[in-house]
Amino acid sequence: MGKVVQAPLGTEFEKDDLVVGIVRHPDPVPCPACAVGQWDMCRNGLYTERGIKQRDGFGSEFYTVEPTHLVKIDPSLGILGVLLEPTTVVAKAWEQVEKIGNRAYWDPHKVVVIGAGPIGLLAALLGVQKGLDVYVVDVVNTGLKPDLVQQLGAHYYVGPLSPVLKDADVVIECSGVGHVVFDVIENVGSYSVVCLTGVSASGTHLDLDVGAISRGVVLENQTVVGSVNANRTHYEMAAKALDKADKDWLGKIITRKVHIDNFEQAFEHNVDDVKVIIEFLH
């Protein structure tokens, strides 16, 4: 998140606006998806990403960005605007889930979110805003994470996955842990939509009954979809979700602020850390 220092004439931005830069940029060809503004679905892999692929990131005291790739946030959010980009990840995930679910009769009630990190908590937030019964699964029994889930009006669950998954309509997997991903696919119920947002480490080998997994997916009309990154539409969706959210609750997600001079401290693991942010201004 940044504050506008100087904006070109003729744009929607003015000095002192709070803004967030969009990470992914369309490929220069462009592919058919990039040509219509859906660069998160780039078909040829020639897209670029700030701080990830072929473009410098936003981690500096000053940066420039094209107005087309900048999103204004409500001033009432203040520092909470740093949660916009992670919220875009789950805004897109929910969009994909709903598009898939609506391919036929669909009346979802129960959502299971795997992982109570910032992405998982924000996925749960959007589920609660949609009026669904949300369960958040994690491995810790006490501390900030269970409290945040309960304050959200959702259920916090620790234990084997099969009981909580059997009647789930939607599962949003945010841990990226390989064996957990396959536990979800093996144990989820019929006509469910599983959305994977976590990125698993390569080189992990598991002993799986592939036939049983594929048989379940086919015979139970299950869908597994991966979702990553976001386009401008998802940034706008995320901004609306944060505007509606309880600001005190959002503030508790940011557990520590570290100045850039001491950036190493941001990577130290504290038990109750959820979202650690790095500040640049003195």
| CA-to-CA dists, residue 30 to 22, 36, 52, angstroms | 18, 9, 19
**Nearest Cα to Cα of residue 40 among 95, 109, 3, 80:** 95
Torsion sign (Cα): 40, 244, 105, 160: positive
Q: What average pLDDT does range 71-87 have in this prediction?
A: 95
- pLDDT grade for 235, boundaries at 50, 70 and 90: very high
Beta strand spans in 158-271 (E): 170-173, 193-196, 223-226, 254-259
DSSP assignment of 180-249: HHHHHHHH--TT-EEEE-SPPPTT------HHHHHHHHHHTT-EEEE-----HHHHHHHHHHHHHS-HHH
Q: Which two tokens stand for residue 33?
A: 């998806």
* Single-letter residue type at 41: M
- pLDDT tens for 169-227 read 999 999 988 889 889 999 998 999 999 998 877 777 777 777 877 887 787 888 999 99
The pLDDT assigned to 138 comes to 96
Considering only residues 270 and 150, tell me which one the structure prediction assigns the higher pLDDT.
Answer: 150
Q: What average pLDDT does range 158-169 have in this prediction?
A: 95
- pLDDT tens for 50-63 read 999 999 999 889 99
The pLDDT assigned to 139 comes to 93
Q: Are 114 and 172 in contact (CB under 8 A)?
A: yes
Backbone phi, psi, residue 278, to 5°: -110, 130
- pLDDT tens for 254-263 read 999 999 999 9
Beta strand spans in 149-221 (E): 155-157, 170-173, 193-196
* 21 three-class SS: strand
pLDDT at position 281 over 90: no
* Single-letter residue type at 268: E
pTM: 0.94
Average pLDDT, whole number, for the chain?
93
Q: Are 115 and 109 in contact (CB under 8 A)?
A: no
The pLDDT assigned to 217 comes to 78
What's the maximum distance between 2 C-alpha atoms anywhere in the chain? 61
The pLDDT assigned to 210 comes to 79
Q: List 259's β-bridge partners, or say none.
A: 279
pLDDT at position 282 over 70: no
The pLDDT assigned to 241 comes to 97
The pLDDT assigned to 212 comes to 78
Q: Are 80 and 247 in contact (CB under 8 A)?
A: yes
Q: Are 33 and 45 in contact (CB under 8 A)?
A: no
Q: What average pLDDT does range 230-241 have in this prediction?
A: 96
